[in-house]
Amino acid sequence: MTDGDENGGEIQRASDVGSADAPSIEEKPYKIIFEANKCFGAGKCAEVSDNWEMSLASGIAKPNTYFIDEADLDHNVRAAEVCPAKKDEGCIHVIDRRTDEEIAPDPHGDGTLSVDW
């Protein structure tokens, strides 16, 4: 850990999150941002997507991978849409890395990141 607060505590763009060890955008054009602290273990994500599992240890969900391609896009979008956390806005976010836009659940309807930092 060096300076963990270089954004002044504000992270505003999806591309600011989780880029260490990331595969190339060409290879995996989408990524997941998971607000684990908002997950209450409802388990709906795991019902609709193979990428999501419930951790017995923590009682909350966990993605197998954070970087996905077209083949795995639809079920992760479904997971983001069915997640009831945050009063139904959801705590799973699917981001298009090429445009830096949130494609699901996108509660604002404009592609902005709906993460509560």
Interacting residues toward ligand SF4 by CB under 6 A: 39-45, 52, 60-61, 83, 85, 91-92
CB of 25 to ligand SF4, least distance (A): 25
Q: Which is nearer to ligand SF4, 33 or 45 (CB)?
A: 45
Q: What angle do CA 87, 89, 90 make, to 5 degrees?
A: 100
Our CB check for ligand SF4 shows the closer of 43 and 111 to be 43
Report how far residue 16's alpha carbon sits from residue 8's, in angstroms, rounded to the nearest whole number.
13
Instruction: Quote the least distance from Cβ 54 to ligand SF4, whole Å.
Output: 6
CB 58, min distance to ligand SF4, A: 10
Cβ closest to ligand SF4, residue 12 vs residue 55: 55
Distance CA 89, CA 93 (A): 10
Select 84 or 99, whichever has its Cβ closest to ligand SF4: 84
Using a 10 angstrom Cβ sphere, with 0-12 exposed, 13-18 middle and 19 or more buried, the burial of residue 92 is: buried
Question: Which residues have C-beta within 8 Å of that of residue 53, sequence separation ≥ 6?
Answer: 46, 61, 62, 64
